[in-house]
Amino acid sequence: MTKTGSTFLRAAERMESVAQALYTDLSISFSDNPDLRQLFQRLAAEEEQHALRIRLLERYQGKFTWPRDILERFCGECDAMIAEMETMRRELGPFPASNDTTVVLGRLAALEERFGLIHAQDLARYAGPEVHELFASLALQDAAHRMLLKAAMK
């Protein structure tokens, strides 16, 4: 299947939606900890906003072009992140094998770091201003998410 700008944006939107589901599951898993429950609910809501912003961009700007190899790489990285998050959802969902908050928060902080890398990489070089602006802002929000998760570890 030939990858297009729309293909990438749909994969990026799905990645954000899966992140939302992961954080929603974690808000349930840690419902006995009000601070963590609130943090995970906040992150779920922000991931939902990320997905919505990408969906709107795809709807109105999805015809942009990127080099084929770049699109293949972006789509592959999104697919890998989706698979990793689905695994985390199974492991950390409503009945997690481990509810060690330090381990869970550490895994999530690492995940947010990789989100930031996907959002920030090569987009400035290959994307139009609208796409670049959106993903630059998402990368900043990913960094803020990582800081929130690290702060919750203390």
Q: How far is CA 11 from CA 8, 73, 119, in A?
A: 5, 12, 12
pLDDT surpasses 80 at 119:
no
Rg (Cα) of the chain, in Å, rounded?
16
Q: Assign 96 a pLDDT band (cuts: 50, 70, 90).
A: low
Provide the 8-state DSSP code for 93: S
CATH number for region 5-152: 1.20.1260
Domain boundaries, the chain: 5-152
Type of residue found at 44: A
**pLDDT tens digits, residue range 25-74?**
999 988 889 999 999 999 999 999 999 999 998 887 666 777 888 888 88
121 pLDDT above the threshold of 70: no
